[in-house]
Structure 1
């Protein structure tokens, strides 16, 4: 996998937790627009490269490039692979609240596939809700699943990721 460029450490990398991610193409489009590196992480049984255009650079060119990070099929393999490669200021696209908590702990940003930007102020409550719902399911109960993913969710995600990237890139003074 290509590594972060050393002459542009102020530029975040966008990591996509691609396991069942409906907005991988949108995340790469934002990376392309802002000339940022992107890494698509998922288990090795997926065709991660299907998200990459033939013309996309696959090696660090000092700007936009995109690469894949294939991991084993074990639970949370992609999560741990992403976390160990994170640098402060990077951005992770994920549906996984546990991964979002680890990302925030590494001083990086996390955004959900519906455009929700996770924050340190609310992540503990998110984790508690996840824990309580898991307890209910283990006892045979049912919890409400997510609503169907919509085009509005996709647009909300793209707009919020774009805003998050703009906030992460330092402004250049003339």
Structure 2
């Protein structure tokens, strides 16, 4: 069964991701470092554990996964927990690459659905930009996050969750 994992580190669409999980009765795990108050994203009425212990992946429930403050701690926790049926929300291309390699699906916070056929070129571009920055150069940062990005994310995540559950 499908679960939705949210890489909560600097994620602007946690509310939308939770709404999609609630709408499609998909369990959800919000992963982030211990400096974040991850519980603030959940409603008091959200179940925190499966309602049917015999079938823990059926129906919506939400939990938080607090990890250490170290770099990529949330990423490692997500990678160790996912199955090929799962969907991961992340803006980290490196995490998306690993998720795709494990057979799961990944979507960026602007609604870009990561694709196994193009992730290698995205990783190459990321690497080249990092080399430029290390050498003292500058690269362009991301454009401002817009309402259109939020809408695209919600639409594409709903589709991705439907596909994952089939």
Give the TM-score taking structure 1 as reference length: 0.91
Distance, in Å, in 1 between the alignment partners of 2:91 and 2:161 is 18
What is the correspondence of 1:140-155 to structure 2 with a 5 Å cutoff? 140-155=136-151
Equivalent position to 1:58, from 26, 48, 68: 48
Equivalent position to 1:126, from 119, 122, 128: 122
Distance, in Å, in 2 between the alignment partners of 1:142 and 1:20 is 22
Distance, in Å, in 1 between the alignment partners of 2:162 and 2:88 is 15
Please list every run of 5 or more consecutive structure 1 residues that lacks an aligned counterpart in the other structure: 1-10
2:55 is aligned to none
Equivalent position to 2:65, from 49, 69, 75: 69
Does structure 1 residue 44 correspond to structure 2 residue 44? no
Runs of 4+ that moved beyond 6 A: none
Give the TM-score taking structure 2 as reference length: 0.95
2:80 is aligned to 84
1:168 deviates by 1.2
1:19 deviates by 0.3
Aligned length: 160
Please list every run of 5 or more consecutive structure 2 residues that lacks an aligned counterpart in the other structure: 52-57
Deviations 1:124-162 (A, max 9, x none): 000000000000000110000000001110000000000
